[in-house]
């Protein structure tokens, strides 16, 4: 197995010896995974390799099987949960987008982190106006379906995705996880999303980027994890592998299940 | 994308007027308009059918005293239905909570303490329902049919099948709180309005309320975004338990007597009020104001059928019809306004 020279410093988030079993299916086995401050980590692997499962474990949606550990900023955390992860500045664009389609955009935008005004009441006015601003400023949406009071169900697939992407960027996270964010997006929207990933690095923050299109992944990442059937099959520093070599190895992994 | 300028530069040619305003008033309030319409039509029908009764203000007073008895439960039940669940056990909680009050007060406990114990009982019943439904993931219809018998059985055992008189001499404060008419307004309806305002704030202006909608709409999405669906559902059931106890007390004080059968006959009209009020059977949408107004319509059907001299058996028929028709209408309206099938398939 090829090992990259690990970046120095304390990882933002780290999984140690994490396995995840669903009944008979072992989606992750003994995975060690770390994201350091200011780096973009790419996650590659076939369909069903366990990428989304890994991401949901990082988010605290899945809890690891006994023996697995989650470390945040150098501390081991036992009661990891999505709410905790988001409080600590981790936001995710899930592959399934995690929207509530019968609800208006403003409810979706602030789902789980609703702003409150004095007396602890919901600041609905702010939720509405911020959603309107975000949708037009960040996504440049001008279609008829995009008003903060419109329900998500009536929006186009790309627009729905825009809500999920904008939502993740609104909270100014330290670590943004993007699970196949560009699937189904137009060329312009794809470019904006990739620019956004680049912007994360410039801002000194971290990201985990999953995309089956290696031409999207390779240019923006610093390090790459290759997952195969729930195992980490390889870790690469971008400096030590060219895109062509990487493609070659991915085919090899798909055929043989190992990188060597 | 991080910089605003980049986006606007990239799309300078996009026309501004392409963006429409908010969804029309009609689309947003279609179910509320529907309820008010149904209510008005029904009232007119009653006025025509029995003018001497429906132009007399006494019937409206009676109506303002009895409707809140199930209306306040309908308001609380709205939360549970929006989370995508149902509670059939509230008639039994009405009786069990009131039984606890009666036994403790009879035993010499001060009435405020007995009241606290009664509400505590209701809350525990709701917690049991909510935990079985949300934590163990058992369908709520099944759970609450079961707990309905459980709570009723417990109450019957505790009371040994006998009732308790609740006279104004023995319980002056309770009668003042639940059976008076300050300024000529029946206190029951004042309570109902107060509860409506509180419930509206809870549903539309708190995080809990926001999560009620989200969990009912798509529990997996809600959980992925860090919402504790189990706790949200459990709290909704607890709310029903507390309001059912309140209703049990109100109903018993109104009749000067606690019957061990308290709550029987409340199931249909309460559920009918929630569905007629525009709360979706599919979860994720609903309104407490809708349940409030619908309760009065259901109350009017009750009073109207009796006053118009129609056989009272017809009220059952009417409630059944209201439930079926409003659920069907909701589905059709929803499909029209959202231009899609409600189930998303
Ligand atoms: N909740 C679950 N219950 C049961 N099995 C699951 C669950 N989630 C994931 N799996 C299984 O775990 C394996 C890995 O799934 P995962 O979604 O992580 O793959 P992935 O790498 O994201 O694939 P893709 O590229 O297709 O998104 C699959 O075999 C999947 O069937
Ligand atoms: Mg995936």
Q: Indicate which CATH number applies to the domain containing A52.
A: 3.40.50.300
Is residue A151 included in any domain, yes or no? no
Query: What is the pLDDT, as a whole number, of residue B297?
Result: 86
**How far A134 CA lies from chain B's nearest CA (Å)?**
10
Is residue B316 included in any domain, yes or no? no
Give the distance (Å) from ligand 2 centre to CA of residue B215. Answer: 23
- Kindly report the average pLDDT of chain B as a whole number: 86
Per-residue exposure over B96-121, b if at least 16 CB sit within 10 Å of its own CB, e if not:
bbbbbbbbbbeeeeebeebbebbbeb
Is residue A127 included in any domain, yes or no? no
Q: Around Cβ B40, how many Cβ atoms within 10 Å? A: 11
Question: Ligand 1 pocket: which residues have CB below 6 Å?
Answer: A 22, 25, 27, 45, 47-53, 95
Is residue A250 included in any domain, yes or no? yes
Element (H, E) at A34: strand A25-35
Q: Which of A226-240, B18-32, B180-194, B199-213 is least confident? A: B18-32
Cβ burial, residue B206 (10 Å; 0-12/13-18/19+): middle
Query: What is the pLDDT, as a whole number, of residue B31?
Result: 67
Residue B252 has pLDDT above 90, yes or no: yes
Number of residues assigned to chain B: 345
Q: Which pLDDT tens digit goes with each residue over B214-246? A: 999 999 999 999 999 999 999 999 999 999 999
Which tokens is B106 given? 């009879």
Q: Which pLDDT tens digit goes with each residue over B123-182? A: 999 999 999 999 999 999 999 999 999 999 999 999 998 999 999 999 999 999 999 999
Residue B16 has pLDDT above 50, yes or no: no
Is residue B3 included in any domain, yes or no? no
User: How far is residue B1's CA from residue A165's CA, in Å, rounded to a whole number?
Assistant: 10
Give the residue whose CA is nearest to atom 1 of ligand 1. A22
User: A59, A112, A131: best mutation site toward chain B, by most B Cβ within 10 Å?
Assistant: A112
> Closest ligand 1 atom, CA of A20?
12
Q: Which pLDDT tens digit goes with each residue over A40-88? A: 999 999 999 999 999 999 999 999 999 999 999 999 999 999 999 999 9
DSSP string, B169-214: TT-HHHHHHHH--GGGS-HHHHHHHHHHHHHHHHHHHSHHHHHHHH
Q: How confident is the model at residue A171 (pLDDT cuts 50, 70, 90)?
A: confident
Could you tell me which residues are beta bridge partners of residue A41? Answer: A208, A223
Q: Tell me which DSSP letter residue A40 carries.
A: E
Q: Tell me which DSSP letter residue B24 carries.
A: P
Coil, helix or strand at residue A29: strand
Residue B146's domain comprises 56-262
Query: What is the pLDDT, as a whole number, of residue B321?
Result: 79
Which ligand sits closest to the CA of A22?
1
Is residue A129 included in any domain, yes or no? no
Longest Cα–Cα distance in chain A: 61
Is residue B174 included in any domain, yes or no? yes
Coil, helix or strand at residue A62: coil
- For residue B271, what are the CA distances in angstroms to A20, A106, A237, B80, B124? 43, 30, 62, 11, 22
Structural domain count of chain B: 1
Of A94, A103, A112, which Cα lies nearest the Cα of B216?
Answer: A103
Residues, CB within 5 angstroms of ligand 2 (ion): A 51-52, 95
Which tokens is B86 given? 């149902």
Structural domain count of chain A: 1
Is residue B301 included in any domain, yes or no? no
Is residue A69 included in any domain, yes or no? yes
Query: What is the pLDDT, as a whole number, of residue A255?
Result: 80
Is residue B61 included in any domain, yes or no? yes
User: A142, B226: Cβ pair inside 8 Å?
Assistant: no
Is residue B23 included in any domain, yes or no? no
User: How far is residue A31's CA from residue A59's CA, in Å, rounded to a whole number?
Assistant: 15
What is the pTM (predicted TM-score) of this model?
A: 0.91
- For residue B210, what are the CA distances in angstroms to B85, B182, B195, B224? 16, 35, 18, 15
**Residue A162 · residue A189 · CB < 8 Å:** yes
Query: What is the pLDDT, as a whole number, of residue A154?
Result: 82
End-to-end CA distance of chain B: 33
User: How far is residue A17's CA from residue A7's CA, in Å, rounded to a whole number?
Assistant: 19
- For residue A50, what are the CA distances in angstroms to A9, A93, A179, B171? 27, 16, 12, 66
Q: Which pLDDT tens digit goes with each residue over B178-202? A: 999 999 899 999 999 999 999 999 9
Give the residue whose CA is nearest to atom 10 of ligand 1. A27
User: A192, B221: Cβ pair inside 8 Å?
Assistant: no
For A138, the closest of B7, B205, B226 (CB atoms) is: B7
**Residue B294 · residue B243 · CB < 8 Å:** no
Of A209, A202, A231, which Cα lies nearest the Cα of A42?
Answer: A209
Q: Is B214 on the interface with A (CB under 8 A)?
A: yes
Of B91, B57, B92, B98, which Cα lies nearest the Cα of B74?
Answer: B91
Is residue A138 included in any domain, yes or no? no
Is residue A6 included in any domain, yes or no? no
User: B217, A100: Cβ pair inside 8 Å?
Assistant: yes
Is residue B16 included in any domain, yes or no? no
Is residue A181 included in any domain, yes or no? yes
**Residue A69 · residue A18 · CB < 8 Å:** yes
**Residue B251 · residue A128 · CB < 8 Å:** no
Residues 256-285 of B with CB under 8 A from A: 284-285
Which tokens is A112 given? 């789980």
For A107, the closest of B1, B23, B213 (CB atoms) is: B213
User: Mean pLDDT highest for which of B154-158, B301-305, B307-311?
Assistant: B154-158
User: How far is residue A14's CA from residue A75's CA, in Å, rounded to a whole number?
Assistant: 10
Cα dihedral B99, B100, B104, B106, rounded to 10, equals: 0
Residue A182 has pLDDT above 60, yes or no: yes
Q: Is B345 on the interface with A (CB under 8 A)?
A: no
Of A61, A72, A75, A93, which Cα lies nearest the Cα of A179?
Answer: A93
Residue A214's domain comprises 13-101+173-256
Give the distance (Å) from ligand 1 centre to CA of residue A182. Answer: 19
Is residue B44 included in any domain, yes or no? no
Query: What is the pLDDT, as a whole number, of residue B231?
Result: 97
């Amino acid at each position: 197995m090829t090992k990259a020279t690990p970046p120095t410093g304390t990882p933002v988030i780290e999984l140690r010896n994490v396995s995840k079993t669903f009944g008979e299916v072992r989606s992750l086995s003994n995975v060690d995974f770390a994201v350091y401050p200011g780096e973009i980590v790419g996650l590659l692997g076939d369909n069903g390799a366990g990428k989304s499962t890994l991401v949901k474990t990082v988010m605290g949606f899945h809890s690891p099987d006994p023996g697995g550990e989650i470390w945040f900023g150098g501390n081991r955390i036992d009661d990891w949960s999505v709410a905790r992860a988001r409080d600590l500045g981790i936001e995710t664009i899930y592959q399934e987008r995690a929207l509530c389609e019968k609800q208006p955009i403003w409810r979706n935008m602030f789902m789980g982190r609703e702003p409150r005004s004095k007396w602890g009441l919901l600041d609905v006015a702010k939720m509405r106006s911020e959603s309107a601003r975000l949708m037009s400023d960040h996504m440049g949406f001008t279609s008829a379906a995009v008003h903060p009071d419109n329900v998500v169900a009536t929006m186009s697939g790309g627009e729905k995705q825009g809500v999920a992407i904008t939502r993740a960027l609104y909270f100014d996270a330290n670590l943004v996880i993007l699970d196949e964010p560009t699937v189904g997006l137009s060329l312009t929207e794809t470019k904006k999303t990739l620019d956004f990933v680049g912007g994360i690095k410039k801002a000194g923050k971290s990201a985990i980027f999953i995309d089956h299109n290696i031409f999207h992944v390779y240019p923006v990442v610093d390090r790459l994890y290759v997952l195969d059937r729930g195992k980490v099959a390889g870790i690469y520093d971008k400096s030590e592998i060219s895109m062509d070599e990487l493609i070659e190895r991915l085919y090899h992994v798909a055929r043989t299940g190992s990188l060597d | 994308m991080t910089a605003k300028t980049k986006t606007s530069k990239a799309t300078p040619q996009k026309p501004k007027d392409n963006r429409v305003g908010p969804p029309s008033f009609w689309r947003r309030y279609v179910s509320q308009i529907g309820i008010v319409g149904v209510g008005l039509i029904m009232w007119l029908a009653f006025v025509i059918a029995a003018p001497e009764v429906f132009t007399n203000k006494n019937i409206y007073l009676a109506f303002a005293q009895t409707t809140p008895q199930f209306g306040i439960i309908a308001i609380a039940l709205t939360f549970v239905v929006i989370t995508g669940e149902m509670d059939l056990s509230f008639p039994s909680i009405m009786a069990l909570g009131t039984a606890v009050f009666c036994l403790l007060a009879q035993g010499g406990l001060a009435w405020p303490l007995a009241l606290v114990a009664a509400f505590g009982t209701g809350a525990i019943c709701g917690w049991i329902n909510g935990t079985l439904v949300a934590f163990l993931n058992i369908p709520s219809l099944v759970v609450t049919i079961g707990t309905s018998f459980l709570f009723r059985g417990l109450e019957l055992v505790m009371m040994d099948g006998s009732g308790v008189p609740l006279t104004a001499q023995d319980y002056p404060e309770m009668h003042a709180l639940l059976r008076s008419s300050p300024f000529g307004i029946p206190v029951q309806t004042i309570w109902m309005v107060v509860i409506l305002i509180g419930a509206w704030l809870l549903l539309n202006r708190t995080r809990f309320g926001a999560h009620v909608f989200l969990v009912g709409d798509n529990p997996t999405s809600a959980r992925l975004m860090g919402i504790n669906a189990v706790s949200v559902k459990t709290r909704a059931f607890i709310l029903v338990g507390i309001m059912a106890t309140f209703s049990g007390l109100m109903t018993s004080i109104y009749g000067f007597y606690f019957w061990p059968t308290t709550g029987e006959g409340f199931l249909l009209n309460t559920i009918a009020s929630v569905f007629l009020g525009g709360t979706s059977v599919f979860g994720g949408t609903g309104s407490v104001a809708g349940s409030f107004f619908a309760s009065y319509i259901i109350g009017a059907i009750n009073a109207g059928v009796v006053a118009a001299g129609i056989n009272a058996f017809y009220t059952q028929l009417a409630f059944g019809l209201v439930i079926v028709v409003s659920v069907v209408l909701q589905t059709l309206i929803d499909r029209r306004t959202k231009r899609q099938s409600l189930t998303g398939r």
